[in-house]
Amino acid sequence: MEEKILKLFKKKPEHYLSGEQISKSLNITRSAFWKHIEKLRLYGYEFDAVPHLGYRLRKAPDKLYPFEISPILKTRIIGKDIIYHDTVGSTNTIAYNLAKSGAKEGVVVVAERQTKGRGRLSRIWSSPKEKGIYLSIILRPKMTPFKAPVMTLMAAVSLAQAIRESADVQAFIKWPNDILINEKKVSGILTEMDAEADFVKFLILGIGINANTKILDLPKGATSIAQESGVFVVRQQLVKALLERLEQNYLLIQKEGFAPIRTQWRNLSVTLGRRVKATCMHKQIEGEAVDIEPDGGLKVRLDNGFYEKVMAGDLALLR
């Protein structure tokens, strides 16, 4: 109902709407309407109320509310159900537990702040309140666990595309799952899954974006989109763009495999052609990153001329 009321106000942003009018058109009582307005005020919406004229929406809060995102979202699967929290431990943990309990593919958990944001390899993902985006998506692709790295690359492509669409910045992908602007990290992806040996039960794509986050709140080497572009990004629009790109690329990968995403990944990469140092589970290698493989691995040319494929681990861009 909040969504419907907001829709009416947003349709005529400068107009006053009478409570009677709105109640009638939504088929609710005046007192129910009143309660919704009070609820919206609690959410941070500001209304001008003028006797005989009615109400006008003066200000909508900068929040990732589902009833702000859903009306503008053009997807069929991803984000059809958005679960909002102001503050959570970790959106990935919540999404994981929901998926374990049978939640459907496409459910999105979004939060304004994480107190236990997690990054790859059990690291912390710094998630201060002002004004990042922290969201996790439940996917149930019919695939083996071998294909999971490809899903991370698909998410990275979607994320870079969405950031470029929402802000005037050149976002690039650093293998496997970081998004950089001007060589500094603005976003990361944590892919987690529940699987049998040869069968993925579900997969959680966790995405953290330093959208308008204050630089002082971020770890060294990190930046925000706002910092790099000089303009605040409209977070709701960025979430919309991200979910739409994700759905588009997810459907593409299921229809045509990794090849078309791989091409896009190459174009958005800041990794290929660079000298890199990869720290894997059992060793360290250094060389030039030359390509991304069909299975999502990074092909590195060592100084002795041999090639090696890196499937896991950390990557440092050297020059």
Q: Does residue number 255 form part of the binding site for a copy of itself (CB under 8 A)?
A: no
User: Six-digit token pair at 69?
Assistant: 């995102």
What's the first-to-final CA gap in the chain, in angstroms?
54
Query: Which residue's CB is nearer to a copy of itself, number 18 or number 284?
Result: 284
Q: Does residue number 307 form part of the binding site for a copy of itself (CB under 8 A)?
A: no
Q: Which residue stretch of 48-56, 184-192, 231-239, 244-252 sits at the interface with a copy of itself (rule: CB under 8 A)?
A: 184-192
User: Six-digit token pair at 87?
Assistant: 């503050």
Which candidate, 5, 84, 86, places its Cα nearest to that of 47? 5
Q: Which residue stretch of 159-167, 216-224, 233-241, 311-319 sits at the interface with a copy of itself (rule: CB under 8 A)?
A: 311-319
Query: Which residue's CB is nearer to a copy of itself, number 29 or number 122?
Result: 122
Shortest Å distance, C-beta 111 to a copy of itself: 20
Query: Which residue's CB is nearer to a copy of itself, number 42 or number 281?
Result: 281
DSSP 115: S
Q: Which residue stretch of 74-82, 209-217, 230-238, 307-315 sits at the interface with a copy of itself (rule: CB under 8 A)?
A: 307-315
- CA dist 102 and 138 (Å) reads 10
Shortest Å distance, C-beta 193 to a copy of itself: 5
Looking only at residues 277 through 306 of this chain, which bind a copy of itself when binding is defined by CB under 8 A?
281-282
- CA dist 236 and 110 (Å) reads 11
Q: Which amino acid is at 67?
A: F
- CA dist 22 and 268 (Å) reads 47
Among 199, 231, 263, 302, the residue binding a copy of itself under the rule CB under 8 A is 199
Q: Does residue number 191 form part of the binding site for a copy of itself (CB under 8 A)?
A: yes
| Burial (CB count <10 Å: 0-12, 13-18, 19+), residue 319 | exposed
Beta bridge partners of 56: 48
- CA dist 208 and 242 (Å) reads 12
- CA dist 261 and 257 (Å) reads 8
Query: Which residue's CB is nearer to a copy of itself, number 132 or number 149?
Result: 149
Query: Which residue's CB is nearer to a copy of itself, number 92 or number 269?
Result: 92
Shortest Å distance, C-beta 200 to a copy of itself: 9
Q: Does residue number 254 form part of the binding site for a copy of itself (CB under 8 A)?
A: no
Residue pointed to by tokens 């588009």:
248
3-state SS record for 59-99? ECCCCCCHHHHHHHCCCCCCCCCEEEEEEECCHHHHHHHHH
Shortest Å distance, C-beta 195 to a copy of itself: 5
Among 8, 148, 234, 290, the residue binding a copy of itself under the rule CB under 8 A is 148
Number of residues lying near a copy of itself (CB under 8 A): 30
Q: Does residue number 261 form part of the binding site for a copy of itself (CB under 8 A)?
A: no
Torsion on CA atoms 224, 228, 230, 232, rounded to nearest 10: -30
Shortest Å distance, C-beta 295 to a copy of itself: 9
Query: Which residue's CB is nearer to a copy of itself, number 74 or number 142?
Result: 142
Looking only at residues 64 through 123 of this chain, which bind a copy of itself when binding is defined by CB under 8 A?
120-122
Which candidate, 311, 317, 316, 319, places its Cα nearest to that of 153? 311
Site string for a copy of itself, 162-181 (x = CB under 8 A): --------------xx----
Query: Which residues are at the interface with a copy of itself (CB under 8 A)?
Result: 120-122, 142-146, 148-149, 151-152, 176-177, 190-199, 201, 281-282, 311-313
